[in-house]
Amino acid sequence: MSASTDHIPARLWWVLAGLTFAWGFNWTAMKLALSEVAPFTFRSMCLGVGSAVLFAVMKAGGHPLGVPKGQWGRLIALSLTAITAWNLLVAYGVSMIPSGRAAILAYTMPAWSIPLSVWVLGERLNGRKLTGLLLGMAGLGLLLGEGVRNLGAAPIGSLLVLCAALMWALATVYQKRFAVSMPVGVYTAWIMLLGGIPIFVGALVLDDFAALAEVSPKAWFGVTYNVFIAFAWAHWAWIKLATSLSVTVFSLAMLLTPVIGVLSGILFLGERPTPTEYAAFGLVLASLLTVALPARK
């Protein structure tokens, strides 16, 4: 895995752009899928088929698929945090609250990960990073808007998504603290497979697979998008960025994703942007610019 950098190198801009749009539009796709497919079954298909696709691509590229000696413990721990906990918490949370609000709550992750990175990794929080954090959190606060006062309408769903944000933050920090010596694609395939095992078991015990025969094409589109775009490719892109950038820079870069999530609602659900949403978009872009380029010497 690559050494961390304190800005976003030009070679990774296409990865960030692709990940932002892949995960931003996914909140709408996920809502479509979960309206008809049970959460355990949905996540089992995403993780099972998604990891199989990645393993096949890595094998075709000639990469060794084995896990290095002494790496199994940390690989399993990271899988349970980054994959199992995140996917179950989000799947159940997004089924209880609007997808736009869920996306914004999930991307409060920097509020957890940046203080953790200072404490656990000893990363320096300079003025530029602090400015980026404040701008980004202000943008998310504007996007959430009325939702803050309406959290009581579905407190469990909101709490589940907030817990998912914390799990993502922990995984991001400990992924840096206990790095696994494997190629990014192979590592991603393994954590998706291992993290999916408890979910596969849950689907077998709790869900009725016969119900899949009644799923509409619209919901199947949401499943297919998740398997190939939001999981197989986007999880590779996420690990690539998370292992190449400092935790602070990576976390702030992710703040553009919920903005795209709101835009996807505008495009596909006919919602109209408000002046507040435009202001939030500007704040998040300003936040991203604080860490996009290397600091002047």
Q: Is 17 helix (H, G, I), strand (E, B) or coil?
A: helix
pLDDT at 19: 92
> What is the tens place of the pLDDT at every residue in 85-123?
998 898 888 777 776 667 777 777 877 888 888 888 887
297 is a domain residue: no
Nearest CA to 104 out of 260, 250, 209, 292 is that of 260
Q: Which domain holds residue 265?
A: 10-292
* Torsion, CA 231, CA 234, CA 237, CA 242, rounded to 10: -80
First to last CA, the chain: 27
- Which stretches in the chain have pLDDT values below 50? 2
For 63, counting Cβ atoms within 10 Å of its Cβ (0-12 exposed, 13-18 middle, 19+ buried), the class is: middle
The string over 6-23, giving b where at least 16 C-beta atoms fall within 10 Å of a residue's C-beta and e elsewhere, is bbbeeebeebbeebbbbb
- CA separation (Å) from 265 to 33, 87, 260, 261? 15, 21, 9, 7
164 is a domain residue: yes
Return all residues near 83 (Cβ < 8 A) that are at least 6 apart.
47, 191, 192, 194, 195, 196
Nearest CA to 47 out of 244, 201, 158, 269 is that of 201
Q: Report the C-alpha gap between 104 and 260 in whole angstroms.
A: 10
pLDDT at 42: 92
Nearest CA to 248 out of 115, 88, 72 is that of 115
Q: What is the DSSP letter of 255?
A: T
pLDDT at 179: 79
Nearest CA to 235 out of 277, 192, 276 is that of 192
3 is a domain residue: no
58 is a domain residue: yes
128 is a domain residue: yes
For 226, counting Cβ atoms within 10 Å of its Cβ (0-12 exposed, 13-18 middle, 19+ buried), the class is: buried
For 133, counting Cβ atoms within 10 Å of its Cβ (0-12 exposed, 13-18 middle, 19+ buried), the class is: buried
pLDDT at 273: 60
Cβ-contact 168, 109 below 8 angstroms = yes
116 is a domain residue: yes
Looking at the 3D structure of the chain, how many domains does it have? 1
- The model's pTM is 0.80
1 is a domain residue: no
Q: Report the C-alpha gap between 297 and 290 in whole angstroms.
A: 15
pLDDT at 105: 76
268 is a domain residue: yes
